[in-house]
Amino acid sequence: MLDFNVIQKDLYSRARLGTLKTSHGSFNTPVFMPVGTQATVKTMTPEEVYNTGGRIILGNTYHLYLRPGHDLIQDAGGLHNFMNWHGPILTDSGGFQVFSLGPLRTITEDGVTFRSHLDGSEHFFSPEKAMEIQMSLGSDIAMAFDECSPYPCSWEEASDAVKRTTRWAARCKECHNRQDQSVFGIIQGGVYNELREKSINDLLDINFPGYGIGGLSVGEPKDLMYSVLEYTTPRLPADRPRYLMGVGSPDCIFEAVSRGVDMFDCVLPTRMARNGSVFTSEGKLVIRNARYARDFKPLDENCNCYACTNYSRAYIRHLIKANEILGIRLTTIHNLHFMARLMHNIRQAIREGTFLKFKENFLERFFYKT
Amino acid sequence: MLDFNVIQKDLYSRARLGTLKTSHGSFNTPVFMPVGTQATVKTMTPEEVYNTGGRIILGNTYHLYLRPGHDLIQDAGGLHNFMNWHGPILTDSGGFQVFSLGPLRTITEDGVTFRSHLDGSEHFFSPEKAMEIQMSLGSDIAMAFDECSPYPCSWEEASDAVKRTTRWAARCKECHNRQDQSVFGIIQGGVYNELREKSINDLLDINFPGYGIGGLSVGEPKDLMYSVLEYTTPRLPADRPRYLMGVGSPDCIFEAVSRGVDMFDCVLPTRMARNGSVFTSEGKLVIRNARYARDFKPLDENCNCYACTNYSRAYIRHLIKANEILGIRLTTIHNLHFMARLMHNIRQAIREGTFLKFKENFLERFFYKT
């Protein structure tokens, strides 16, 4: 089941406020999804993810298939039970990961043969296999198995990828049979508007309850991504959620929301945290820097997360310098809280008709010091 | 301040039930102290430590002096504020750590010159320095700076160490001047009863509010440790707490409690956890073992900790195999909960007059499978 409702549209941009109801609960959009690659949002318990404001998380089909295996997770009662997260889960199709394996994979019309990055063993993903795995995992939203064009990419290559993505999307829809799980199609087309339009029309013919926008944030300049979005989102049906895959820096989120995107995921906040960097209302802060050694202020004086309420920059810097795990737990909590609060404030600004003003103020302050 | 009261003595052993009141709260004895070497109990928040049942933690003077520095911690308002643990803290003197540095240290009557294990820089610890650092840290219980005899060790060497430990203990007492912090003397003497007796008499003359029993669990057979304890504890004043330093395996705790020991610390439960091993009511369990891959039972079916309430062996094994931090967080929570519950059950058995029976039943079950 999936029930999407647009509650309010911004008058001065394409930004929109919505609610999305899944088999494991509802959340408001625009939303940021923390990434839980290996059946855990790195360093965090599910309760901690929820307490930062996370309401839907992402799981990675490729990783879970290889380890511990989707059959094991099915035997555990599905991914929700296995990892003790009882809210909504979206799984990717594994397509992006296996395409990223480069020389380790071969693509045919049937699917993709690839070697495991863990032990070199050979495996095969097809649209049917990607659906089988995601049905075993039991995510609330499954993604169709697509062919993601790289950047740069010729018109011909991007065109072939769009056509194959359409054929594979039809096969995904055909074999999918789990009622409590919805499948999103994925729009490809690289940076070519005509191909984006064709991909949209093809997938609308198949008819999905939501659409991913793929093949962006893969190396192209940000302005080019924004212009592709500018062209793409108005052509997607207004009553279906739109998910910009793999995007999650605050500036990109603002630009995409203002063009009508509803859902985001990105490893950036959690990966940055493990490298000892945090988002603050005044930009990025690298906590390892010597200047914070005796700084007893919180990471962000405008933040009320667990880390900022209880610990100083000096303490968190000490933990990270000493390789103590609590250090990256605290930076992860802070960054996920930052993202959830950012999305909350974006939704509130849309509700109050002040989205563009909020965007301008936030970005000016955020980029002033960086 | 320190206020120790023996509430009940076991009729069939020297085990005793007590309460110890410090400047940061009270706890019951016998007690196990989780080790927070670098101003954090590894992987845990203070709230998590408390929720496992931990009521007093140990901090390491040597490590905190080197990084981030005791002056920085003093500027942060002391160790309690710095790490956000507002319960009792005991700090060791750093003596054991610098003696363990082997060729990196030189001992004179004045103190010990040593090189940092972090960067090779040269430092000097004396009784006065060890007290200065611990006063800066602001722990509730500080330990006197002692000379710990290794095992094996000749009578002459052990005798010299006892004499120096006495002289250093007098210097510690002389320079200590923090009213909210108590200093414990440390009994040395190796495995020689006459030397243990001399060390006790020397330190009783100086008069400390509590006594550490040092130089045990340093490589000697367990039976030898038990026989030294058998001789030592009855000679210590009944109204002062007795702390067996560095001991924490369940069997040693039972044997030491039955000989009248009140306090314990050990890295074993937390270190084992990070290696993927857990204590259960039926002995040690190595969660990495392939046999647990599809085992959906909790780590210990008789445990109600956060890990056992919410996660399966299969899930925790997956996390640890995949190097996910949540895995060692869960095993650490479980092991500290196991230790706290063990101590709770020991106290209850003393209260009910069933300590020796409880000890026998526990150890039989615990060692049956291992």
- The partner residue sitting opposite A38, judged by closest CB among B76, B324, B329, is B324
Min Cα distance A71 → chain B (Å) is 10
Chain A: closest CA distance from residue B321 (Å): 9
Q: B45 and A325: CB-CB below 8 Å?
A: no
The whole-angstrom separation of Cα A189 and Cα A228 is 9
Q: What is residue B255's predicted lDDT score, i.e. its pLDDT?
A: 98
Structural contact between residues B184 and B209, judged by C-beta atoms closer than 8 angstroms: yes
- Distance (Å, rounded) from C-alpha B200 to C-alpha B194? 10
Q: What is the pLDDT of residue A252?
A: 97
A87 in helix, strand or coil? coil
Return the pLDDT at B369.
52
Measured CA to CA, the distance from residue A258 to residue A13 in angstroms comes to 5
The ipTM value here is: 0.97
pLDDT of residue A370: 45
Q: CA torsion B298→B301→B306→B307, rounded to 10°?
A: -30
**CA gyration radius, chain B:** 20
At B215, is the secondary structure helix, strand, or coil?
Answer: coil
Which residues of chain A lie closer than 8 angstroms to B320, CB-CB? none
Residue B359: Cβ-neighbour burial (10 angstroms; 0-12, 13-18, 19+): buried
Q: Which of B44, B67, B317 lies nearest to residue A326, judging by beta carbons?
A: B44
pTM: 0.98
Nearest to A43 among B40, B312, B325 (CB): B325
pLDDT at A132: 98
The chain A residues in contact with chain B (CB within 8 A) are 38-40, 42-45, 67-68, 72, 75-76, 82-84, 293-294, 296, 310-312, 314-315, 318-319, 321-322, 324-326, 328-329
Is-catalytic flag, B92?
yes
Whether B223 is catalytic is: no
pLDDT digits (tens, 9 = 90+) for B255-305: 999 999 999 999 999 999 999 999 999 999 999 999 999 999 999 999 999
Instruction: Report how far apart, in Å, the C-alpha atoms of A200 and of each of A169, A185, A208, B171 are.
Output: 12, 9, 11, 82
pLDDT tens per residue, range B143-155: 999 999 999 999 9
| Residue B238 in tokens | 């009944």
How do strand A112-115 and strand A211-213 relate by DSSP bridges? unpaired
Strands in B3-9's sheet, in edge-to-edge order, are: B3-9, B16-22, B25-29
Per-residue pLDDT of chain A (370 residues; tens, 9 = 90+): 799 999 999 999 999 999 999 999 999 999 999 999 999 999 999 999 999 999 999 999 999 999 999 999 999 999 999 999 999 999 999 999 998 888 889 999 999 999 999 999 999 999 999 999 999 999 999 999 999 999 999 999 999 999 999 999 999 999 999 999 999 999 999 999 999 999 999 999 999 999 999 999 999 999 999 999 999 999 999 999 999 999 999 999 999 999 999 999 999 999 999 999 999 999 999 999 999 999 999 999 999 999 999 999 999 999 999 999 999 999 999 999 999 999 999 999 999 999 999 999 999 999 875 4
